Amino acid sequence: MKALLLTEPGKLEISELADPVAGADEVLVRVAACGICGSDIHGFDGSTGRRIPPLVMGHEAAGTISAVGSAVSDFREGDRVTFDSTISCGKCAYCQQGKINLCDDRQVLGVSCGEYRRHGAFAEMVAVPARILYRLPDDLVMEHAALLEAVSVAVHAVRRSELVRGETAVVVGTGMIGLLVVQVLKHYGCSQVYAVDQDQRRLELALALGADETILASEDDLVDRLIEAHDGQGLDHAFEVVGITATVQTAVQAVRRGGTVTLVGNLAPEVALPLQAVVTRELTLRGTCASSGEYPECLELIVSGAVQVAPLISATANLDEGPEWFERLFNGEPGLMKVVLKP
């Protein structure tokens, strides 16, 4: 099969690889669409240590089943499906509690971090366990279905925050996931959603997708405006969707006493935390990772139009064009959001 192979840090090549073989509990999916995730862009140069070559990346995907393993009875050849990016064991204590994203033997498609290597979906075919599959309606465009994984990250983050209808929130960072968080917050009944970013075009898109007000991160009175937005007390929630010191500090400063900061971004492995502000104002910090069973809800959100993914897709391209698009995204080309490759 043809695949987009990471052959060395920062270098991608179109290669011919052997077709994967479905195990007894797996299916073979012919990939129709696979989105380039920010984690792929941040990791393909070797900086994160989670994309060790040689590796086929890609975990935001959808396609059609071309073969099923001998132990698979719930799916058949020809079914249109998407799948979770997390491959959980289904047996450990976390899996038994439904916390599949915390699985003791967790693997992620398209990731190689030393402990395991799991080829992903930037290829014509990929083998995945049947237990992580979800059927797709016939009228859902494959490029949109491929973004279910990203939507599930946003839904899981909002659920983790324990948001109550009518509360207020700020989303710090309006990249792909941040823009999805904005939409999910509005769907869940957040009364006022503020969006912060350094890119005016992204803020305009945030407004179009439901944000009530936007503020450029470069504004000198950024934190003051967020605090004053809700009776001078600060907001109920902050969602940090970048993962660097400056944005984490903005999120902490923007919430009221007793507020909640949900940490979604993880661009930097370590950040400087304003500890005294967290302690003396009794803030709640919540980490959130991937998703944990939210796919069916996310599918309903996309199909109903409650969450729009089409405005987030900057381009679709053939797999052969993958190396070029990776370079453009890695170099931060203005205006680019999500690029979907079609093997």
Tell me if 267 sits within 8 A of 245, measured CB to CB. no
With b for 16 or more beta-carbon neighbours within 10 A and e for fewer, the 174-194 pattern comes to bbbbbbbbbbbbbebebebbb
From 225, 219, 197, select the one nearest 209 (Cα to Cα).
197
Higher pLDDT, 126 or 45: 126
Same domain, 10 and 135: yes
Boundaries of domain holding 47: 2-147+309-342
- Taking the CA atoms of residue 307, residue 310, residue 311 and residue 313 in that order, the dihedral angle to the nearest 10 degrees is 120
From 103, 121, 142, select the one nearest 55 (Cα to Cα).
121
Same domain, 7 and 139: yes
In this model, does residue 267 exceed pLDDT 90? no
- Can you tell me the mean pLDDT for 29-37? 97
- Can you tell me the mean pLDDT for 44-62? 92
Same domain, 27 and 64: yes
Q: Is residue 90 part of a domain?
A: yes
Total count of domains within the chain? 2
Tell me if 108 sits within 8 A of 327, measured CB to CB. no
From 33, 57, 19, 29, select the one nearest 323 (Cα to Cα).
57
Per-residue pLDDT tens for 141-179? 999 999 999 999 999 999 999 999 999 999 999 999 999
- Can you tell me the mean pLDDT for 317-323? 97
Q: Chain-wide mean pLDDT for the chain? A: 96
Tell me if 145 sits within 8 A of 136, measured CB to CB. yes
Whole-number Å distance between alpha carbons of 296 and 234: 34
The whole-number pLDDT of residue 48 equals 85
Q: Is residue 26 part of a domain?
A: yes
Q: Is residue 12 part of a domain?
A: yes
The whole-number pLDDT of residue 15 equals 97
- Listing DSSP states for 213-231 in one string gives EEEETT-TTHHHHHHHTTT
> Cα separations (Å) of 311 from 205, 305, 329?
8, 12, 17
Do β-strands 284-287 and 255-263 pair in parallel, antiparallel, or remain unpaired?
A: parallel
- Can you tell me the mean pLDDT for 190-218? 97
- Can you tell me the mean pLDDT for 108-122? 94
- The answer to whether the predicted template modeling score (pTM) of the entire model surpasses 0.75 is yes
Same domain, 160 and 122: no
Same domain, 168 and 274: yes
Q: Is residue 302 part of a domain?
A: no
Q: Is residue 295 part of a domain?
A: no
